[in-house]
Chains A and B, each alone.
Chain A
Amino acid sequence: DTEVTQTPKHLVMGMTNKKSLKCEQHMGHRAMYWYKQKAKKPPELMFVYSYEKLSINESVPSRFSPECPNSSLLNLHLHALQPEDSALYLCASSQEPGQLPYEQYFGPGTRLTVT
């Protein structure tokens, strides 16, 4: 099973709402990632968790708050977002942090619209 699942598939939220994105993998991977992707652009890394600890935060605004409750789950808590935060949010996982040749497996993404 090489599957990363993400819920919800689509999310529309107002600027005062609080919502969460969820990501799950059961491949025993020890690194998990959040990316933000705008249309026609490559994904931009937001956060990396290695062995359930936050190892990379790419200077993401505090209105995005990641959480890794266990090795299979990754959440992204959203609060007071701006319309420019509307994007496709991709979750990914890989077997061993920093090791080659392990590729990152991506989930289907959550399309977020902030109104």
Chain B
Amino acid sequence: AQKITQTQPGMFVQEKEAVTLDCTYDTSDPSYGLFWYKQPSSGEMIFLIYQGSYDQQNATEGRYSLNFQKARKSANLVISASQLGDSAMYFCALRTYGNNRLAFGKGNQVVVIP
């Protein structure tokens, strides 16, 4: 079974500052992928970034980057230069190869303040 842990309480971030969202995971499968999604209050889940278990480099996508520490089983999301539109719930999720189930963490609420 796969498990994702996101334990940070709601976060307030100053506009233009960076924020790091923690995610730890547990799986015995060597082949897996980690996904981060953003969910604004409107409800839509927006895919942000992906990291594969065999990827040698940390994933980056615009202002989003992933701090992937495989030995520690952590995949923290870093959002640089926060914008007001970044206020949302952020979910970390894991899926193993051959499996259609996406295991979600409980999410991190982020509020960006001007």
Contact = CB atoms under 8 A, between A and B. Distances in A.
Given A88-B43, A106-B44, A100 B104 contact: no
A98 B42 CA distance: 29
Contacts of A101: 33, 50, 52
Contacts of B37: 106
Contacts, number: 59
A101 B35 CA distance: 9
Contacts of B102: 45, 104
Contacts of A92: 45
A112 to B, nearest CB: 12
Interface string A58-78: 000000000000000000000
A105 to B, nearest CB: 7
Contacts of A55: 100
A103 B59 CA distance: 14
A105 B50 contact: no
A31 B45 contact: no
Contacts of B32: 100
B44 A107 contact: yes
B97 A98 contact: yes
16 contacts: A33-B100, A42-B104, A45-B102, A48-B100, A90-B43, A92-B45, A98-B99, A100-B31, A100-B32, A100-B97, A103-B35, A104-B102, A106-B37, A106-B44, A108-B43, A108-B44
Given A55-B100, A101-B50, A103-B35, 10 more contacts: A40-B89, A41-B106, A42-B104, A42-B107, A43-B45, A45-B102, A56-B100, A90-B43, A101-B52, A107-B44
Interface of B: 31-33, 35, 37, 42-47, 50, 52, 89, 91, 95, 97-102, 104-107
